[in-house]
Structure 1
Amino acid sequence: MKAMLCERFGGPEVLALRNVADPPPPEAREIQVRIAARGVQYVDVLMLVGKYQFRPDPPFIPGGEAAGHVVAIGTDVTDFAPGDVVMSRHTLGACAELGNATAALCDKVPAGMSLAQAGVFRGAYTTAYHALLQRGRMRDGEWVLVHGAAGGIGIAAIQVAKAFGVRVIATAGSAAKRAACLEEGADHAIDYRSGFVDQVKALTDGRGVDIVYDPIGDKVAEESLRCLAWGGRLLILGFLGGGPTNIRSNYLLIKGIDAIGVRIGGLNENEPALAATNMKALVTLAKQGKLRPRISHTFRLDQAAEALQVVIDRAVIGKAVLLS
């Protein structure tokens, strides 16, 4: 089969299309998928440079989420059959024509969702759902401030929040990205680059927001603390802004704020049953038309380096996908 190999640590240029051996037959609880679509994630960028918490040694095939057709099943698999169209989760290996995946981490693609959309669904939506509903304890009628709102997990957060009756303020750095946030359901979209506290306070009549959803970190996180109302929750999802911030504990004390870390990999590893339940709920919401991945860039498998570069350049609105 053909696969994109990371042959040494580095930037997107280290990827090369190679002919490699097909994966072995699926183990008892696995399925084998002929992959048609793969989501492109910032996690892949970190993995290529050896800076992700899971650090495989080259050569390896990157890619953690995909969609395609089942071609074989393990002896203990009862929920899938050859020919089923599925969304699959992989530790590695999605950037290939074939891949094995644990059956419990796969779901059938709901009617009305394309293979391209299915290939980018799992990572973004499971992150947003777990962050907002479980870590953030989001309730109907609350206000949520979503940073990086035009990215994959940002748009997912907008859609999940609106599905549960929450008012959303989205931040993004360009007019096109802010327009996309409004199209996806945000109540307001603001430019955060010259400061956003006054804008958030004005939109909430001085009260502030209940939840900040923050994959940016750095100075954005510190300013976000000033936007939170009493009992607010700061959800820490990552550090795309260049690194973590030093949380000022006086803000937490005075306003009764919770600063909460969110790592979907940690949920998958430590609470797999809850992770599976969450995915079932998300598939139901997708069937109802409440969740719909937005794809701004489509590439072929052999263009994986180009796809990762547009992610690095923050040119993507929603998700980028690699198609066979």
Structure 2
Amino acid sequence: MRALQCDEFGTVDRVRLVERPAPADPGPHEVIIEVAYASVSHAVGLMVEGRYQTKPPRPFTPGTEAVGHVVAAGASVTRFKPGDAVAAIADWGCFAERIKLPEYTVYAIPEGLPLLDALPIPISYGTAYTGLLWRCALQPGETVLVLGAGAGVGLAAVELAVQMGAQVIACASTQAKRDEAVRRGAIGAVAPGAELAAQVKMLTEGRGADVIVDPVGGELFGHAVRAAAHNARLLSIGFASGAMPVVPPNIMLVKNLTLHGFFYGRYIGWTPADERIVHAPAMQHAMQTMLGWARDRRIRPTVAQVFPLAELSNALDALHSRQVIGKLALSIKKETTR
């Protein structure tokens, strides 16, 4: 089979396309998936460079999220059979024509939902869903401010918060991204910067946001805190800006704010303790819910562009341009078409 291989940590142009044997027979709780598409994220680039919190043993194949079809299932697997369409989360290894995975982070794609439309669900939408519901206990009628609302997790948070009955204000860097967030259900969209709090207060009649979703970090977080309502919850997901957020403790204290640090990897096996089996029932329910919403077009997961397997470098360049709305993908099988 074809696969991308990273022999040593470094720049992405050192990742090479190789031919290697396909995975052997699955273990009792494993499935082998023929991969159709795999997503491209900032984490992929960091992992290749050796700057991600997880450092795979070299050589390794990057890629943490994929869709495709089951070709073999272990003797104890009851949820899948060969031919089933699935979405999957992996520690790494998705940029290959076949991958063997434990069944616990593999999810059935409902009939009627195209593979490519399911691709953003496991990680981007999964992060937003679990952060909003499990950590922030989002309630219908609350107001959610989403930073970075044009990217994968941010745009997912916009759609999911709307589905949960919240009013959403989107913050994004370009007019195109802000317009898209409004099309996905946001009641308003604002630009990042020093005027952020004033814009949010204007849209909320002076009250502010009950929940703030922050995958960006850096200076923007400081502006967003000033847009928080009293007793608001702040969800820190990541640092796409490249800078850690600065938390103004005086505002946190006076407004009685709660800051939730959030690592989605805890639920999908990306910690040394590997808790994926513990969280599997709750994750299966979450994925079934979101994949059903996608099938029914209540949410519209978006893959903006698909690149050939050999063009990972070009895909990451496009992602780093900050102009992408939604997600990017690699087409893994030679015959796969959009």
Pairwise same-fold verdict (TM > 0.5):
yes
TM-score interval, normalised by the smaller of the two chains: over 0.9
How far has the Cα of 1:5 moved from its partner? 1.0
Q: 1:302 aligns with which of 302, 310, 331?
A: 310
Letter in 1 for 2:310: D
How far has the Cα of 1:48 moved from its partner? 0.9
Letter in 1 for 2:303: I
Q: Distance in 2 between matches of 1:301 and 1:221?
A: 36
The alignment's TM-score, normalised by the length of structure 2, stands at 0.92
Judged with a 3 Å threshold, the aligned counterparts in structure 2 of structure 1 residues 195 and 45 are, in CA distance, closer, same or farther, namely: farther
Q: After superposition, what is the alpha-carbon deviation per residue over 1:106-134, rounded to whole angstroms, capped at 9, x for unaligned?
A: 12212332111222321011101011111
Residue 51 (structure 2) aligns with: 51
Q: Distance in 1 between matches of 2:227 and 2:262?
A: 20
Matches within 5 A, 1:182-221: 182-221=182-221
Letter in 1 for 2:309: L
Matches within 5 A, 1:84-95: 84-95=84-95
How far has the Cα of 1:25 moved from its partner? 1.3
Gaps of at least 5 residues in structure 2 are 270-274, 334-338
How far has the Cα of 1:283 moved from its partner? 2.6
Q: Distance in 1 between matches of 2:207 and 2:300?
A: 31
Matches within 5 A, 1:37-186: 37-186=37-186
Q: Distance in 1 between matches of 2:241 and 2:135?
A: 22
Q: Distance in 2 between matches of 1:102 and 1:286?
A: 24
Residue 15 (structure 1) aligns with: 15
Letter in 2 for 1:56: P
Q: Does structure 2 conserve the Cα–Cα contact (< 8 Å) formed by 1:4 and 1:96? A: yes
Letter in 2 for 1:319: K
Pair 1:272-2:279 in alignment: yes
Q: Does structure 2 conserve the Cα–Cα contact (< 8 Å) formed by 1:29 and 1:75? A: yes
Pair 1:311-2:286 in alignment: no
Q: Distance in 1 between matches of 2:140 and 2:5?
A: 45
Letter in 2 for 1:321: A
Question: Is the partner of 1:253 in helix, strand or coil?
Answer: helix
Q: Distance in 2 between matches of 1:105 and 1:173?
A: 33
Deviates more, 1:161-170 or 1:113-122: 113-122
Question: Is the partner of 2:88 in helix, strand or coil?
Answer: strand
Instruction: Compute the RMSD of aligned alpha carbons.
Output: 1.4
Aligned residues: 324
How far has the Cα of 1:194 moved from its partner? 4.9
Runs of 4+ more than 6 Å apart: none
Q: Distance in 1 between matches of 2:10 and 2:197?
A: 38
Letter in 2 for 1:136: C
